Amino acid sequence: MIFCPEEKFVRNECISCGTCAEVCPSHAVKMHDGYPAFNSGLCIGCGHCGIFCPANAFKLEPLPVNAATPQQYMSLLEARRTIRIYSDKVPSEDEIDTLISVLSQSPTGVNKQGITVRVIRGSQAVGSLLKPVQKMLKILHFTGLLHLIGKITGMSDYIERLRGGEDMIFRGAPVVLFFHVPRGNPTGYADGVIAATAVMYHAVSMGMGTLWNGVAEKIYPYTGAWHTHATKGTRITAVLCIGYPELEPKWKAPSRIYTGTYHTS
């Protein structure tokens, strides 16, 4: 539900400081006779007017006292590893609901671009996703195109193992999440990536492992059997494989290479 400041505002609690109007990014709040006036047509539901109000005139809940420290956050990042070997333990529906509940805090353009997550849970359900892919590979094999694709991409061995029935896409993950965003939104793809990233790190905090599945994301548009009526009018932005890892990492992974540049005037 989008935050509606006019409904939450308690006039008697207002100290007329004007902070709400100052921080509103869409200029939907203006001070009038010492009190805020709200333009619902401009409001994007971000809640800035409320979260920065020194008097809590919008009656919001307080922030957690023990926010994560920079070192705690870095420890979470260091704990994330790509998982390709999963245990037999299947995350429960309640655990999945808890996992994706983090999306209630995931930002989107003007806070109104809904994220749709399609959840495939259980080895049988995930395994069924492979059948249309293997059927497509069989057709390409008979036409000779599969051999050509393998040579061009350098993935002949990968493709042949997949065609032979090996799960080279989902790697036996017990849960697969497909992230969708509405079509036509300029920030849609980024919204979906941010949402999937939030879920990925929440999974780590819950003791699960993930695989960011770029292969499934790329072939999704060409795999009609994966599409559902519920995701009509949306576009895929990310696919995450999730489950409890069979093997636990014992040591800290080497740092990645990155470049930071600074420009001063």
- Report, as an integer, the average pLDDT of 112-130: 90
Residue 161 has pLDDT above 90, yes or no: no
Q: What is the CATH number of domain 70-123+171-243?
A: 3.40.109.10
Average pLDDT over residues 3-22: 94
pTM for the predicted model, two decimal places:
0.85
Evaluate if residue 250 carries a pLDDT over 90.
no
Q: Are 216 and 169 in contact (CB under 8 A)?
A: yes
CA 202 to chain centre: 10
Q: HEC profile for 31-85?
A: EECCEEEECCCCCCCCCHHHHCCCCCCCCCCCCCCCCCCHHHHHHHHHHCCECCC
Q: What is the pLDDT of residues 184-202, one digit of tens each?
A: 888 889 999 999 999 999 9
Cβ 188 vs Cβ 182: under 8 Å? yes
- From the list 62, 59, 43, the residue with the least C-alpha distance to 8 is 59
Which of residues 137 and 47 earns the better pLDDT score? 47
- DSSP conformational letter for 200: H
Exposed, middle or buried by CB within 10 Å (0-12, 13-18, 19+), for 32? exposed
On whether the CB atoms of residues 234 and 195 are closer than 8 A, the answer is no
Q: Are 7 and 1 in contact (CB under 8 A)?
A: no
pLDDT of residue 1: 63
In percent, how much of the chain has pLDDT > 70? 100
Structural tokens at position 138:
């069989």
The domain 5-51 having CATH identifier 3.40.50.970: the answer here is no
Beta-carbon neighbour count of residue 164 at 10 Å?
10
3-state SS, 118-166, equals EEEECHHHHHHCHHHHHHHHHHHHHHCHHHHHHHHHCCHHHHHHHHCCC
Is residue 7 within 8 A of residue 58, CB to CB? The reply is: no
pLDDT beyond 80 at 162: no
Residue carrying structure tokens 């009038």: 32
| Average pLDDT of span 170-179 | 95
User: Domain segments of the chain: what residues?
Assistant: 5-51, 70-123+171-243, 130-163
